[in-house]
Structure 1
Amino acid sequence: MAPLSDRYTVIQIEPLGFGWSDRPSDYPLAGVHEQVLAVLNQEGVDSFVVWGYSQGGAMALAIAQATPRVTGMVAGGWSPMGAPTDAWMRRADREQQIPIASRAFWRWYRRFDWLDELAAMQCPKLVYAGSGDRPRVSGPRGIPRARDALTQRGVTLMEFGGLDHRTCNTEPALSNSVVPAVLDWLDNCR
């Protein structure tokens, strides 16, 4: 957080049912983007960059899609072309090992054509992953296969060599590689 908070006001939000937040048995009708916007409204934030990693990267897309207040969208460890399959959703509902908040989010997310949504977003967009990331992100259905489609929609792509899904979001990679590269990208977007 230090490199970010030295230059920006950082507000870390964990929507209901994620991270350290409460885990309701019934997920509220308000989705992730409504919850994030409610917090930012409470804090008096008019415009912001949204950054998420893994499922949080998909959430960053959802928030950027929901409001013109987003001045930059960063999705790490997630390809906008990725989404859980019908079979995954059925298994998750049947086994109920995936929290209800996550299943609710994925149901909502799957309703959209994210290539169309990316094309409609007016803010700068960055998607990144480690070169050793799992196939869903960097494999056949992930970033390399979607590279042309994403760049045609104004998405900047970054790949961090030698990192995988876990190491791309932990120290020392965050301080030494990821955060400096994202900060440079943000500076160039201004």
Structure 2
Amino acid sequence: MREAGANGIKIAYREEGDPGAPTLVLLHGRTADHNDWNGITQHFAARYHVLAPDLRGHGASDRPGEYPVPAMAEDVAALLGRLGVERAVLVGHSLGAMVAYLVAMGHPGLVERLVLEDPVPPRPLEGRPPIEEDGSTAFDWRMMHDTERQFLQPDPAWLAGLATITAPTLVLSGGPQSPFRADETAALIPGARLVTIEVGHLIHVSAREAFKRAVDDFLGA
């Protein structure tokens, strides 16, 4: 693990592959960390310089106590700038996918291609049970509450911003077992490719080989 100052906080990140190769960034979902991509980083490191950061409030990264999702996006952009990366493929799952599409909106020149795995949609979510804290210490519970408020009432600019994304985009849907309608998000991104793998929300865990094939096919197109 490495760490770097980015956007005023410490971001811990995992690095694999040739630093001279094109960069691919893996952004985990809520409550996870870089270990969520075990078995995935090695696959892409054969061709890419792979970075798997812990988002703020997760893993070994700082827990600043405030967790606006746009700030998480700026953390990622700042980390890439700190590492001298001018263009990168972004692959994000769930909250990480929301972070990824906000990076693509705010920093279009930075994003070579965009992969959104069962993304949290930028629409108000309804019918979600309240968060109940337990003894987990792998993440900041304030992050859970802060991001949940943003899931329930996202900034309307995020929905409009999907139409401004210029990076070629792949959206992976977990199908009817998923809590999110990834197809609706895909329909709002110009030219986005939608692939459905009917295993629910954790596609890269529940159908690892299918996930890798879909991403490989997209990156090779």
Q: TM-score, normalised by structure 1?
A: 0.74
Gaps of 5+ in 1: none
- Residue 131 of structure 1 aligns with an amino acid whose one-letter code is G
4-13 or 103-112, which deviates more: 103-112
Distance 1:14 1:117, change over 3 A: same
Alignment of 1:85-124 (within 5 A): 85=126, 91-92=130-131, 99-105=141-147, 107=149, 110-124=154-168
CA drift at 1:12: 0.6
Distance 1:115 1:63, change over 3 A: same
Q: TM-score, normalised by structure 2?
A: 0.65
Percent sequence identity over aligned pairs: 26
Structure of higher RCO (CA pairs closer than 8 Å, 6+ residues apart):
1
Tell me if structure 1 keeps the 8 A contact 2:171–2:194. yes
Whether 1:156 aligns to 2:193 is: yes
- Residue 156 of structure 2 aligns with an amino acid whose one-letter code is F
Aligned twin of 1:184: 217
CA drift at 1:43: 0.9
Question: Residue 220 of structure 2 aligns to a residue in which SS?
Answer: helix
How far apart are the structure 2 equivalents of 1:50 and 1:154?
17
Question: Residue 3 of structure 1 aligns to a residue in which SS?
Answer: helix
Aligned twin of 2:19: none
Query: Alignment RMSD, CA only?
Result: 3.0
Could you report, residue by residue, the CA deviation over 1:50-97 in whole angstroms, capped at 9, with x for unpaired residues?
A: 111122111211221220211111110225355444x859x55xx667
Could you report, residue by residue, the CA deviation over 1:77-131 in whole angstroms, capped at 9, with x for unpaired residues?
A: 225355444x859x55xx6678222443455571034442121111111111223
Aligned twin of 2:205: 170
Whether 1:2 aligns to 2:42 is: yes
CA drift at 1:4: 0.7
- Residue 12 of structure 1 aligns with an amino acid whose one-letter code is A
Distance 1:103 1:125, change over 3 A: farther
Distance 1:12 1:70, change over 3 A: same
Aligned twin of 1:13: 53
Distance 1:45 1:107, change over 3 A: farther
71-80 or 121-130, which deviates more: 71-80
CA drift at 1:36: 0.9
